[in-house]
């Protein structure tokens, strides 16, 4: 048996198990792992037939289930395995970078939805029971605490669709860019979608939906639309920030510090939302193909 034929498959298996171990033993790196997880599979799709890739994903799932538990085995298949397989095949088929990006976000959305419902069923999670146990473990006025936590839980259930889309958009975009970057580093001629600092969104659609959804926030559908539209405005504001930072300095350290500020300092996202909305209409970056 010529083991060189299986070199890419063995390397992919090793990367998947290593990333899963990092996610399992170093939880604070989970977000980074989620971004990197599909990349080995995306690369393998470019090298192997679909049957071979599916076989590698199944073997990886069995190894992860044995080493780290059933949920990790499940995530290997319907999580990053599914996402990597879809993104890899879309790139292999030669779809445009924009369509590939959209498909990546859709794939992550489906994957996260499957993980949420299947894992909840497997773990037999009863959120009402968990709520009661949490309240019992807290001191103070338990009735008031239960009312507060119940209100928060009901709100989360109400806005779950928008939270899912926001999470899937961020993860899908990062999965796409990191995968495409890695393929280019490996010598594959992959056309990359324009950098995030050049992004712009349709101003009329976003602005009108924000105004309309603000008028009907008591309706859960419009509330979710409102949250997602403000997130899109935030994305454009973030693109503007990255654009001007890139013009002043190419330092990764400065950009990383700004991202850190966004995560820990609540007023910054609000400022970026406003900046994004203004850029939609006034084109601060003076892009020729952007209205405004």
The pLDDT, as a whole number, for residue 253 is: 80
187 & 216 share domain: no
Tell me the per-residue pLDDT of 99-114, one tens digit each, with 9 for 90 and over. Answer: 999 999 999 999 999 9
11 & 151 share domain: yes
Domain hosting residue 202, numbered range: 195-292
Instruction: Name the band, by pLDDT with cuts 50, 70 and 90, for residue 129.
Output: low
Domain boundary among the residues 170, 193, 216 is at 193
114 & 64 share domain: yes
Tally of domains within the chain: 2
8 & 121 share domain: yes
Quote the pTM value: 0.89
34 & 150 share domain: yes
Domain boundary among the residues 156, 178, 193 is at 193
237 & 137 share domain: no
Domain boundary among the residues 146, 167, 193 is at 193
146 & 218 share domain: no
Is it the case that residue 141 has pLDDT exceeding 80? no
Three-state SS string over the chain comes to CCHHHHHHHHHHHHHHHHHHHHHHHCHHHHHHHHHHCCHHHHHHHHHCCHHHHHHHHHHHHHHHHHHHCHHHHHHHHHHHHHHHHHHHHHHHCCCCHHHHHHHHHHHHHHHHHHHHHHHHHHHCCCHHHHHHHHHHCCCCCHHHHHHHHHHHHHHHHHCHHHHHHHHHHHHHHHHHHHHHHHHHHCCCCCCCCCCHHHCCCCHHHHHHHHHHHHHCCCCHHHHHHHHHHHHHHHHHHHHHHHHHHHHHCCCHHHHHHHHHHHHHCCHHHHHHHHHHHHHHHHCCCCCCCCCC
């Amino acid at each position: 048996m010529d083991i060189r034929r299986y070199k890419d498959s063995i390397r992919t298996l090793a990367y998947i198990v290593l990333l899963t171990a990092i996610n399992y033993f170093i939880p604070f790196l989970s977000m980074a792992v989620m971004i990197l997880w599909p990349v080995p599979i995306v690369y393998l799709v470019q090298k192997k037939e679909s049957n071979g890739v599916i076989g590698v994903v199944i073997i990886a799932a069995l190894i992860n289930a044995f080493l780290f538990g059933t949920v990790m085995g499940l995530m290997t298949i319907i999580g990053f395995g599914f996402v990597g397989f879809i993104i890899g095949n879309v790139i292999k088929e030669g779809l445009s970078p924009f369509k590939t990006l959209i498909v990546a976000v859709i794939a992550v959305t489906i994957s996260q939805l499957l993980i949420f419902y299947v894992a909840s069923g497997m773990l037999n999670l009863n959120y009402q029971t968990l709520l009661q146990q949490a309240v019992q473990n807290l001191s103070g006025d338990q009735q008031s605490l239960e009312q507060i936590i119940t209100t928060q839980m009901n709100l989360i259930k109400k806005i779950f669709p928008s939270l899912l889309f926001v999470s899937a958009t961020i993860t899908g975009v990062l999965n796409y860019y990191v995968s495409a970057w890695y393929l280019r580093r490996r010598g594959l001629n992959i056309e990359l979608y324009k950098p995030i600092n050049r992004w712009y969104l349709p101003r009329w659609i976003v602005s009108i939906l924000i105004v309309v959804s603000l008028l009907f926030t008591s309706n859960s559908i419009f509330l979710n639309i409102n949250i997602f539209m403000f997130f899109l405005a935030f994305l454009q504001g973030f693109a503007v920030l990255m654009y001007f930072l890139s013009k002043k300095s190419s330092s990764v350290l400065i950009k990383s510090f700004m991202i850190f500020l966004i995560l820990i300092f609540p007023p910054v996202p609000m400022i970026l939302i406003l900046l994004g909305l203004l850029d939609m209409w006034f084109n601060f970056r003076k892009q020729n193909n952007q209205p405004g």
